[in-house]
Chain A
Amino acid sequence: MLAFLFFGCSQQKGTTSYDDPGKPACGDTIVMASIGEASNLIPLLSTDSASHEIAGRVYNGLVKYDKDLNIVGDLAESWEIAKDNLSITFRLKKDVQWHDGKPFTAHDVMYTYKVTIDPKTPTAYAADFQLVKKAEVLDDHTFRATYDKPFAPALISWATAIMPRHLLEGKDITASPLIRKPVGTGPFIFKEWVPGERVVLTVNKDYFEGRPYIDRYMMRIIPDSATMFLELKRYGIDMMGLAPLQFLKQTEYPRFKQEYNKFKYLAFNYTYLGFNLKHGPFKDRRVRQAISHAIDRKEIIDGILLGLGEEATGPFTPNMWAYNGNVKKYAYSKEKALALLKEVGYEKGPDGILKRNGSPFEFMLLVNQGNTVRIQCAELIQRRLSEVGITVKIRVLEWASLINEFIDKRNFDAVILGWSINPEPDPYDIWHSSKQGPKELNFISFENKEVDEIIEKARHTFDRAQRKRYYGRFQEIIAEEAPYVFLFYPYATVAIHKRFKGIEPAAAGLMHNFIKWYVPENQRRYKANAALSP
């Protein structure tokens, strides 16, 4: 039996050194892993990250971000924004073909727009396109979208994956075979989907930006993160996001370092403690500022993230162009916190508990189950606040009940949550006072006239320098008002097998030049047709 077991292990590994950068060559397979299975490969209809990751290799938008987060053409050769800022005219690349050989035209863009705003399409992405007043196909390679008002995030909304009209028009998109067999224009062609196991893509040799070097892209589904890590250590997968402890300790042995490169970069998200501004003491700005002073962010980052994060200062991350780091900061200081609370009328009693008019200062802090980082943050915050005399009770809740029973019903004092943000800023949904309705995202009930005005103005301004000024002021006000305690910006930490060369970490992350990654011939692991016939 044992003899059989050894037999069949055909991967070559061990002695190869991966330090030689070698020459770009075509070939090899990259094996990714995902905790969850993709749900639907028409990106319009899905919201999970696995589906979007795969669809992102198969489809293109009209525009995309480059490595420095500038908006550049993807399927669009160029575009023109009209003088009145009301319309965008896209000139599309010619000679782009769908994976089935049909030419790509402006009619495909038109179809994508139409199906997105069609009330019968169950999509989460209709909002931006609903602002389009008129969409027109000027000729086969020119497309124009006209808006009622100038809308600054309009351009990037056309990064949406463009769907093939010839395969979808007149059919029910929710029952389309493309859900499981996408046909796009992208650098990789869909090959197979083995449910519960993997999705495989193969190289598009005629890709309009040039043939990607890597021949095959495979995403394995590994639902358990401990197993995924073991697979990485066993070289069963080539790329994986690591937890702080894995990044700093569990991968620090020679064999691992010989086989993998580790990368870290700022991700586009932040974690915060949000106050319910309708709740008693939190109505007062000074109380919120005091709590911001009483929480030690450095301790949270060092203790929980093991240093893999940065202290947050506001609702934008430092890698965004709109970021303004020059705002009011809340250094950890018990004295400042106590002084501010005293101003409001809180006095420390003999038992060390803050009281105003005889009632103690206490509140309930909600966190969602399963997110260890947030739960640990809550515990550190609880301790720091108890030092200034505020009693915090932590309640850990399952996600759906946290959102439906507490956040949506505004039935909370404070909550720890995180936002993922788009590199192209639009704080409208989270910070505008009109967004306080049920299920809307300004659930802390933040209202500030100046902020409302700035957000609206910035939305309708195309000049980036002017927008940056607006958003700079926006961040100053938010910092001053302290409606959230901004806790940290975490780093994304990733291990990638060393045989992949040409990786350029940049503001946009790692995958922005994926088609330029290559494996030198002598370091190749999977032979050209070893895994699957073409």
Chain B
Amino acid sequence: MLRYLLKRLFFMVPMLFGITLISFLVIHLVPGEPGAFDTDMNPKVTKQVRERIRAFYGLDKPLHVQYWMWLKRIVKFDFGISFAPDRRPVIDKIKERLPVTILINLLSLALIFLVGIPIGIYCARYKDSILDKALTSFVFAGYAAPTFWIALLLMMFFGVYLELLPISGIKSFNFSELSFFDKTIDVAKHLILPVCISGFGGLAGISRYMKNSLLEVLRQEYITTAYAKGLPESMVLKKHALRNALLPVITILGLSIPGLIGGSVIFESIFSIPGMGQLFYMSVMARDYPTIMGILVIGAFLTLLGNLIADISYALADPRIRIG
């Protein structure tokens, strides 16, 4: 097991290296340069100014030199300084945006599992019943409908029409003055819509997985045996079927880890949530290379880590993999 783990960890290094190299090349191929986004058509920007700004960012050097400079920093975990006019360390920009993204993603992941799994179980147990079909339609509607559209409709209904929920943001602006109790309520009110809507879109996947895997298990002979020896149905489902059927679902949990730090641009923009999706989008639009690379490296690392964790949990749960 240890050897397996070490081997996997060892292979992550060249893979991470390859990902950064490709990302670096691709983002430098995109037309436009940092700062250019604002200054391209500005009458007051002379040629000297442009050269000055390029030299300031080190963009006058050849691409491989720039990559090498970046690589030298990144192995020391130095993500560099952002090219955006705020000139802040990239790691600070990422750090201030990570918590809210992770919070929302964790909550919606919890919501997806808490609602999706029971839906899957119900649909497998009462396959082809009317409620099964209704639930299936419901989760697929969530999967298919554009997030921004549902978000705007619900914001209009709960925000403008009923005046129940705040429309955007994650805190009221008098947040710092509220008592702890009010603070919790304030954040909760702001989070209801974003979490529900992002969860809604993810229900389809997990409930389908759950349903199919449970149906698979229910067809097994040991289930028939269990029924035959006279166990009550709830016992058969819980003790025998569900345990086995949950295995693939746990894998999906592992694969969700990199998704935790990624946010959706559209979604975050609509709710004015200062999260990772927006940061990444802004960085791309401003050609803020160090920030783009910083986010990509963290994302790539977490993806590889998530795969590893999924494999390990598989191995732990299934002796056949562990031994083979």
Residues of A within 8 A of B (CB): 2, 4-9, 36-37, 39-40, 45-48, 51, 119, 122-128, 174-175, 179-180, 195-198, 200, 218, 220-224, 226-227, 230-231, 233-234, 236, 399-401, 403-405, 417, 429-430, 437-441, 530-533
Known: A4-B185, A400-B37, A403-B40. A226 touches B272 (CB 8 A): no
Residue of A with least CB distance to B165: A5
Are A405 and B43 in contact, with the CB atoms below 8 A? Answer: no
Cβ of B133 under 8 Å from chain A: no
Complex Cα gap A236–B272 (Å): 13
Cβ of B191 under 8 Å from chain A: no
Known: A230-B159, A530-B174, A531-B174. A437 touches B269 (CB 8 A): no
Are A119 and B52 in contact, with the CB atoms below 8 A? Answer: yes
Cβ of B31 under 8 Å from chain A: yes
Contacts of B47 in A (CB 8 A): 437-440
Are A532 and B174 in contact, with the CB atoms below 8 A? Answer: yes
Max chain B C-beta neighbours (<10 A), residue from A123, A430, A439: A439
Are B272 and A40 in contact, with the CB atoms below 8 A? Answer: no
Residue of B with least CB distance to A2: B164
Are B49 and A127 in contact, with the CB atoms below 8 A? Answer: yes
Cβ of B278 under 8 Å from chain A: yes
Cβ of B77 under 8 Å from chain A: no
Cβ of B84 under 8 Å from chain A: yes
CB distance from B210 to the nearest CB of A (A): 27
Are A430 and B185 in contact, with the CB atoms below 8 A? Answer: no
Max chain B C-beta neighbours (<10 A), residue from A5, A9, A48, A179: A5
Contacts of B93 in A (CB 8 A): 195
Are A227 and B278 in contact, with the CB atoms below 8 A? Answer: no
Are A128 and B44 in contact, with the CB atoms below 8 A? Answer: yes
Are A9 and B163 in contact, with the CB atoms below 8 A? Answer: yes
Complex Cα gap A48–B47 (Å): 20
Are B168 and A127 in contact, with the CB atoms below 8 A? Answer: no
Instruction: Write 6 A-B pairs (CB below 8 A) sorted by A numbering.
Output: A5-B165, A36-B282, A122-B35, A223-B268, A439-B40, A531-B174
Cβ of B233 under 8 Å from chain A: no
B169 contact from A6, A128, A200, A220, Cβ within 8 A: A220
Which residues 218-268 in B have Cβ within 8 Å of A in the complex? 268
Are B169 and A226 in contact, with the CB atoms below 8 A? Answer: no
CB distance from B150 to the nearest CB of A (A): 13
Complex Cα gap A439–B45 (Å): 9
Which residues 79-99 in B have Cβ within 8 Å of A in the complex? 84-87, 93, 96-97
Give me 17 other A-B pairs in contact (C-beta within 8 A), A227-B270, A430-B43 excluded. A46-B85, A47-B39, A47-B85, A119-B52, A197-B272, A222-B168, A223-B268, A224-B272, A227-B167, A400-B31, A400-B36, A401-B32, A404-B40, A437-B47, A439-B47, A530-B174, A533-B177
Max chain B C-beta neighbours (<10 A), residue from A124, A195, A196: A196
Cβ of B274 under 8 Å from chain A: yes
Contacts of A227 in B (CB 8 A): 152, 155, 167-168, 269-272
Known: A48-B38, A128-B44, A403-B40. A224 touches B270 (CB 8 A): yes
B52 contact from A122, A234, A401, A417, Cβ within 8 A: A122
Known: A5-B164, A8-B186, A223-B272. A124 touches B87 (CB 8 A): no
Are A234 and B163 in contact, with the CB atoms below 8 A? Answer: yes
Size bracket of the B interface: 35 or more
Cβ of B50 under 8 Å from chain A: yes
Are B53 and A8 in contact, with the CB atoms below 8 A? Answer: no
Which residues 15-69 in B have Cβ within 8 Å of A in the complex? 30-32, 35-47, 49-50, 52-53, 56
Complex Cα gap A463–B32 (Å): 42
Are A123 and B159 in contact, with the CB atoms below 8 A? Answer: no
Are B182 and A8 in contact, with the CB atoms below 8 A? Answer: yes
Complex Cα gap A455–B31 (Å): 34
Are A230 and B167 in contact, with the CB atoms below 8 A? Answer: yes
Contacts of A404 in B (CB 8 A): 31-32, 36, 40
Residue of A with least CB distance to B287: A400
Known: A222-B168, A533-B177. A400 touches B49 (CB 8 A): no
Known: A5-B165, A175-B87, A403-B41. A224 touches B49 (CB 8 A): no
Are A234 and B160 in contact, with the CB atoms below 8 A? Answer: yes
Complex Cα gap A200–B270 (Å): 22
CB distance from B191 to the nearest CB of A (A): 12
Contacts of A440 in B (CB 8 A): 47
CB distance from B46 to the nearest CB of A (A): 5
Are B49 and A123 in contact, with the CB atoms below 8 A? Answer: yes
Complex Cα gap A8–B166 (Å): 11
Are A197 and B186 in contact, with the CB atoms below 8 A? Answer: no
Are B278 and A5 in contact, with the CB atoms below 8 A? Answer: no
CB distance from B57 to the nearest CB of A (A): 8
In the complex, per-residue mask of B165-183: 1 if CB is within 8 Å of any chain A CB, else 0: 1111111011011000010
B167 contact from A119, A197, A234, A437, Cβ within 8 A: A234
Cβ of B125 under 8 Å from chain A: no
Known: A227-B155, A404-B32, A439-B50. A180 touches B86 (CB 8 A): yes
Residue of B with least CB distance to A42: B85
Contacts of B163 in A (CB 8 A): 9, 234
B176 contact from A180, A196, A234, A532, Cβ within 8 A: A532
Contacts of B166 in A (CB 8 A): 236
Are A441 and B168 in contact, with the CB atoms below 8 A? Answer: no
Complex Cα gap A405–B41 (Å): 14
Residue of A with least CB distance to B57: A122
Are B173 and A218 in contact, with the CB atoms below 8 A? Answer: yes
Complex Cα gap A11–B277 (Å): 31
Are A441 and B43 in contact, with the CB atoms below 8 A? Answer: yes
Known: A230-B156, A234-B159. A197 touches B87 (CB 8 A): no
Are A532 and B177 in contact, with the CB atoms below 8 A? Answer: yes
Contacts of A122 in B (CB 8 A): 35, 49, 52-53, 56
Complex Cα gap A236–B165 (Å): 12
